[in-house]
Amino acid sequence: GQNIDQPTEMTATEGAIVQINCTYQTSGFNGLFWYQQHAGEAPTFLSYNVLDGLEEKGRFSSFLSRSKGYSYLLLKELQMKDSASYLCAVRDPLNRDDKIIFGKGTRLHILP
């Protein structure tokens, strides 16, 4: 089966740093995505990790540990526009379709 867990909501202050954790238990694994989604809009790609370690991209970094089934998204120098939902998603290679399964998402609230 598939199980992807992340906190439902988080609150942080403008200018601060926040880490959003994601744990997964899936039948197969072929990479982990992080997406940002504002209400009523399509998800926006943030990062993709397939090997263990940290990937840094500007204010956003993503970490993966395949042995622990664990990933986190780190957001630095938070801005008000970062208020959004952040979706952790695992790529499942167990069928030829290579589908992406999403976690429930973390709603991040940024306070001034």
Partner 1 sequence: GAVVSQHPSWVICKSGTSVKIECRSLDFQATTMFWYRQFPKQSLMLMATSNEGSKATYEQGVEKDKFLINHASLTLSTLTVTSAHPEDSSFYICSARDWTGTGGNYGYTFGSGTRLTVV
* Interacting residues with partner 1 (CB under 8 A): 31, 33, 40-43, 45, 48, 85, 87, 97-105, 107
Q: Which two tokens stand for residue 80?
A: 């008000």
Q: Which is nearer to partner 1, 17 or 30 (CB)?
A: 30
Smallest gap, in angstroms, from Cβ of residue 106 to partner 1?
A: 10
Residue 85's CB: how many other CB atoms inside 10 A?
18
Return the closest-CA partner of residue 49 out of 85, 91, 87, 17.
91
Q: Which is nearer to partner 1, 14 or 41 (CB)?
A: 41
CA distance 50 to 32: 6
Smallest gap, in angstroms, from Cβ of residue 64 to partner 1?
A: 14
